[in-house]
Amino acid sequence: MTAHGHLAERLFSDLFLNAISDGVAVLRDGLVVQANAALGELLQVPTERLVGADLLAMLTACHHSGAPDLNAPMPVRALLTVDPQVPKTLSLNARFVRSTSGVEGERVALVTLRDISHVADMERRLRESEDQYRSIFENAQEGIYQTTPEGRYIRVNPALARIYGFATPEDLIGTLSATRLYVDPAQRDDFKSLMDTHGAVRDWEAQIWRRDGSTIWITENARCVRGPDGAIRYYEGTVEDVTDRKRAEEEIRLLAKVFESSAEGIVLLDDQGRVRAANPQFCAITGTAEAELRDEPLILTADGLHESNFFARALAEVRDKGKWEGEIFARRRGAEPSFPAEVSIAAVRDPEGAVTHYVVNVADI
């Protein structure tokens, strides 16, 4: 048996070496004196050809990234990548072991190779996921936050800082507390009670203070994040500025009140001239009920006192000019089947200019 063989026999037995799933090689002065089958599989070289081979040269030939210097001071650690056409990443570790040959200056090294392609792929996917989350967090139009249950902000995105009137998220953190956010301080207690009881809030609307002292309306969705022991670690949620919507709702409410309480009769028609709504005054002066009028063509003129296509021509003029005004004999149920009325009709158009509705005002004169 050669000196190389005796050395390998003393270090490892083939049975033990081949039981290891990692690729393993024993080097003497840079040459392989023993290798297991797993190493041959990783390098795609028959195991018998490994013994006596220069491992450094073999790694350099096999791997796209180049091989580490196995003559450098040990231990050596490196990542190797094969040709990009074959996605595989290997982790190399090399260290000196004590020689038992008795030869002075003999360099004996133990080299292990491990296929960590799946680990590298997982790390890549994790980095991509983190990058995607960071992009969503930073660029979202909704405000996103994390706070302690006591209301101290831990993390916020730029959108939330803008909503609350701060230049940057850093300006908000440490400056604003959720406990001082609500115009009605009792709402914070209600919010926290819902979080403690149900673990989440949905579509929570509140009026809040901005940094400059102005107020806005927000809608908020949040949930509790708990630790393994079930204790609440923090709240996380989203915030949207709904001030414009709240103002629009208030305007609609006021317009509805005007519609209901107007001294004139008002009727809303669709683009085909069918009744969509009629206010109480119109029903009173015409002797009809809204339920009878709804979804039916509006018959406004008294029988025999106007041409049969009078109202259709009026609507056509509204489509062309935007408005029609005039006096008519209007139709009414009861002992007096008609009455003189002053009528104005206006068109409601969509952003493209197409007529979507007509508004008819009728005054009993």
Q: Decide if pLDDT at 62 tops 70.
A: no
Has residue 355 got a pLDDT over 80?
yes
Average pLDDT (178-186) is 87
pLDDT tens by residue, 8-19 = 454 556 677 777
CA angle 302, 303, 305 (to 5 degrees): 75
Q: Per-residue DSSP letters for 146-184? A: EE-TTSBEEEE-HHHHHHTT-SSHHHHTTT-BGGGTBSS
Mean pLDDT score, 120-133: 75
* Side chain identity, residue 182: Y
Across 86-100, 150-164, 227-241, 300-314, least confident range: 86-100
Sequence-distant (6+) residues with CB within 8 A of 92 are 59, 68, 76, 77, 78, 79, 80, 111, 112, 113
- What is the share, in percent, of the chain residues with pLDDT greater than 90? 10
SS3 content of the chain, % helix, strand, coil (to 5): 35, 35, 35
User: How is 270-290 classified by DSSP, letter by letter?
Assistant: ETTSBEEEE-HHHHHHHT--H
CB 12 within 8 A of CB 4: no
Of residues 61 and 67, more confidence is placed in: 61
pTM of the model: 0.55
Question: Is the CB of residue 239 less than 8 Å from the CB of residue 218?
Answer: yes
Q: Which of 101-105, 114-118, 132-136 has the lowest average pLDDT?
A: 101-105
Angle at 188 between CA 187 and CA 193, to 5 degrees: 95
pLDDT at residue 327 greater than cutoff 70:
yes
What is the model's pLDDT at position 312? 82
The answer to whether residue 314 scores a pLDDT higher than 80 is yes
Cα→Cα distances 200→19, 68, 181, Å: 53, 54, 19
pLDDT of residue 209: 92
